[in-house]
Structure 1
Amino acid sequence: MHIGMIGLGRMGGNMAKRLRAGGHTVVGYDMSPDSGRDVTSLAELVAALPAPRVLWTMVPAGGPTDAVITELKGLLDAGDIVIDGGNTHYPDDRRHADDLAERGIDFLDCGVSGGVWGAERGYALMLGGDRAVFDRVRPLLDTLKPEGDYGLTLAGPVGGGHFAKMVHNGIEYGMMQAFGEGFATMMRSDLIDDPAATMVSWRSGSVVASWLLDLFENAVQTDPGLRGMPAVANESGEARWMVEAALELGVPTPATAAALWQRQTSRGGADDILRVVTAMRAQFGGHVTKVDEIATH
């Protein structure tokens, strides 16, 4: 198939490579002239593709995605397909689909997981939209997904793909938080000689064996205590959206929420909160904590 890839960063660029290796013709566009792009504008991109066209956008959620969708609406024809593979907030998908439908342009939303390893391992793809449109681009999806029976699903109607990816990322937050808490607990204990090696041993035969543990092994090979890692983890928004959606649906999500709060705390947002707590404890109970008395490990 022919496809236009919009956004050639770490994800989009690697996806384009995998598609080309699978025999598809990819025309790439990115705002950066150093991206290896094939064309210099969306208009050139559309002109370079045979009809009916397939455009896959991998740009940041929010304003950038809105701008791309709006511009494509004025460039594409009825029967063309736009796939949003970014981390768009799922309520925006319906708006994008309705906007494009005014010109007869079909729309799919696609949650993509696989990170920088996806070009080699394949990507887990979660799509939302019409089954007939999904089937039209199936050759592209089969090339992008991992080999085997899994890694691809039509999760539901428009919005379902990004909703599934939102939940996926919330689960990811909780899993990484649990591994981190286990590692920290072993680091503080005199009973564990090598916490890193202990966790790596779980890669085989354990019920918690996972690709995350494989990646953990990569990280600790040269830094077993992870002392070179900054104790800061940003949050990209999906877990926050999941907690919000779960609250609306009446679903308790304490593990996801705890992992989200921990990431926010790591960015320094809790410093002033804890100063207030410490000041109040000092006032009502004489609990004085000096900075140089705080234990460091």
Structure 2
Amino acid sequence: MSTESVDFGIVGMGVMGKNLLLNIADNGFSVIGLDKDPEKIAPLVETGQSSVQATTSANEFLSSLESPRKIMMLVPAGAAVDAVIEELLPHLDEGDLLMDGGNSYFPDTDRRYQMLTEKGIQYMGVGISGGEEGARHGPSMMPGGSAKAYDMVGPILEAAAAKVDSEPCVTFIGKKSAGNYVKMVHNGIEYALMQLISESYHLMKSGFGLTDTDLKAVYDSWETGELSSFLMEITADIFGKKEEDGSDLILNRILDSARQKGTGKWTSQNAMDLQVPAPTIDMAVMVRDMSAHKKERIAADAVFKNETEPVQVDEELIKKVEHALHFSFITAFAQGFSMIKAASEAYNYGVNLADVAKIWRGGCIIRADMLEEFRRIFAEDPSINNIMVDDRLAGKLVEYQKDARYCIKIGLDAQIPLPAMMASVSYFDLYKSGWLPVNLIQAQRDYFGAHTYERTDKEGTFHTNWK
């Protein structure tokens, strides 16, 4: 081990930890990794880089770091984070900085932040997006905690982050658990976008009868157009990847039962807590839940057999699907940003939505060209409640919603489920409805439970003896 003090330490040398460690070292900082598994630190030791160290000893790890220490944990969310904190805490000094780079549930981050702050230890929840590739070559990072703590580590994170127009895709997000909260919503939007893309696949494959080659061409063209994004890019790649013997797409051999780690569910749950509608995200979570019931779905398929014929396809129809998908993407982002705005006010985070859109433009899973437009909207009007009402987006939504409705009608006739796309249209219709039939619901509640109601013609609350 080197006798010189090390700039930055990471606990947990799994895929993300190892790659982020090497990324930071590539950007001119000395680093040290800690993991109890000797096999995980061996590749780091074998690099021979003088700026990269690794150990299985917590004492060696802590004694190597420059004071005040800057330590990031990249371990599974939950009990593992608490276990690392419990192990390191007795050996930390006042002013040291401890960061959680995993997908921790934001109330857990608040609890840890309060406990460690009371002990004089700086704490940050740092949302990191970009997967293995992003960690190695430049992720998007969402750190929350205190501005003072960010100042300690900002230059390191900014050097390691992805860059768009020479600007790092990281910034101080806000107080306490703001970073983990914004990452949670990022993941909820990710669920929604992935579900929407999969619905376009289902519609074109089962409803239009497009071949795998046709679908490859469609997603290739969309990746270079208005829908240009990381998820569209990888979708096009997936449709080009065959088995080693060239017999079939690997995609066609993958079981249609999706896994999830809970961040989408957390987003839906919190949206309901804040009373912020997020139906496209909700539907994306629901479909993953439904996909797990594979045996039941197969049995039901035999009972309710779909015998509809594929529709006639031309370039105009494919363009309508592209517009429907673009419409739905905008509504999914609108729901996520509305959640962050509401949470920032409810939890006193102080989040700047223009900054969030800015750092999501590169490195992260949901990066897309349209985020630059969202950034401009929030920069020009930080108080805007929903990006859908911006003049530039409103015109596009009015135009594209027609194609979204057209595609949904085809899906309904062909018995092809398009729940996220339908939720996107319903969200749009609800948001632009100056009147909703909820007055009837209020009357019903007052009828059976004397819950009272408000009137349109006078102030106060009222109750009627409906019988």
Query: Smaller-chain TM-score range?
Result: 0.7 to 0.9
Find the counterpart in structure 2 of residue 170 from structure 1: 188
Matched, 1:222 2:238: no
Offset of 1:192 from its aligned partner? Answer: 3.6
Distance of 1:154 and 1:50 partners within structure 2: 23
Q: Is the 8 A contact 2:75 2:81 kept in 1?
A: yes
Offset of 1:42 from its aligned partner? Answer: 2.3
Match among 195, 201, 204 for residue 224 of structure 2: 204
Distance of 1:195 and 1:52 partners within structure 2: 54
Find the counterpart in structure 2 of residue 265 from structure 1: 290
CA 1:289 to 1:119, structure 2 compared with 1: closer, same or farther past 3 Å?
A: closer
Q: Which amino acid aligns with 2:14?
A: G
Matched, 1:142 2:147: no
Offset of 1:191 from its aligned partner? Answer: 6.0
Match among 139, 142, 155 for residue 173 of structure 2: 155
Deviates more, 1:158-167 or 1:63-72: 63-72
Match among 26, 35, 41 for residue 30 of structure 1: 35
Distance of 1:8 and 1:103 partners within structure 2: 27
Offset of 1:178 from its aligned partner? Answer: 0.5
Matched, 1:249 2:249: no
Distance of 2:101 and 2:130 partners within structure 1: 12
Distance of 1:272 and 1:218 partners within structure 2: 31
Q: Which amino acid aligns with 2:89?
A: K
Q: Is the 8 A contact 1:18 1:143 kept in 2?
A: no
Matched, 1:235 2:235: no
Q: Which has the higher helix share?
A: 2
Matches within 5 A, 1:1-20: 2-20=7-25
Offset of 1:208 from its aligned partner? Answer: 1.5
CA 1:112 to 1:156, structure 2 compared with 1: closer, same or farther past 3 Å?
A: same
Matched, 1:112 2:112: no
1:20-76 alpha-carbon deviations (Å, 9 max, x no partner): 111111110112211126211323211221211111000001100011112221110
CA 1:104 to 1:188, structure 2 compared with 1: closer, same or farther past 3 Å?
A: same
Distance of 1:82 and 1:262 partners within structure 2: 37
Offset of 1:232 from its aligned partner? Answer: 2.2
Find the counterpart in structure 2 of residue 53 from structure 1: 69
Q: Which amino acid aligns with 1:23?
A: G
Find the counterpart in structure 1 of residue 215 from structure 2: 195
Give the count of matched residue pairs. Answer: 282
Larger Rg: 2
Distance of 1:203 and 1:163 partners within structure 2: 29
Distance of 2:265 and 2:17 partners within structure 1: 24
- Per the alignment, in what secondary structure is the counterpart of residue 265 of structure 2? helix
Q: Is the 8 A contact 1:97 1:107 kept in 2?
A: yes
Q: Is the 8 A contact 2:22 2:136 kept in 1?
A: no
- TM-score, normalised via structure 1 length: 0.88
Q: Which amino acid aligns with 1:228?
A: R
Deviates more, 1:176-185 or 1:117-126: 117-126
1:58-96 alpha-carbon deviations (Å, 9 max, x no partner): 000110001111222111000100011011100011211
Matched, 1:81 2:97: yes
- Per the alignment, in what secondary structure is the counterpart of residue 171 of structure 2? strand
1:137-159 alpha-carbon deviations (Å, 9 max, x no partner): 11111122112225112221110
- TM-score, normalised via structure 2 length: 0.57
Offset of 1:247 from its aligned partner? Answer: 0.4
Q: Is the 8 A contact 1:85 1:109 kept in 2?
A: yes
Matched, 1:185 2:190: no
Q: Is the 8 A contact 1:203 1:213 kept in 2?
A: yes
1:90-130 alpha-carbon deviations (Å, 9 max, x no partner): 00112111222233110111000010111454110111111
Matched, 1:100 2:116: yes
Distance of 2:270 and 2:135 partners within structure 1: 31
Q: Is the 8 A contact 1:114 1:124 kept in 2?
A: yes
Distance of 2:136 and 2:237 partners within structure 1: 16
Deviates more, 1:154-163 or 1:28-37: 28-37
Find the counterpart in structure 2 of residue 133 from structure 1: 149
CA 1:273 to 1:216, structure 2 compared with 1: closer, same or farther past 3 Å?
A: closer
Deviates more, 1:42-51 or 1:105-114: 42-51
* Structure of higher RCO (CA pairs closer than 8 Å, 6+ residues apart): 2
Offset of 1:197 from its aligned partner? Answer: 1.6
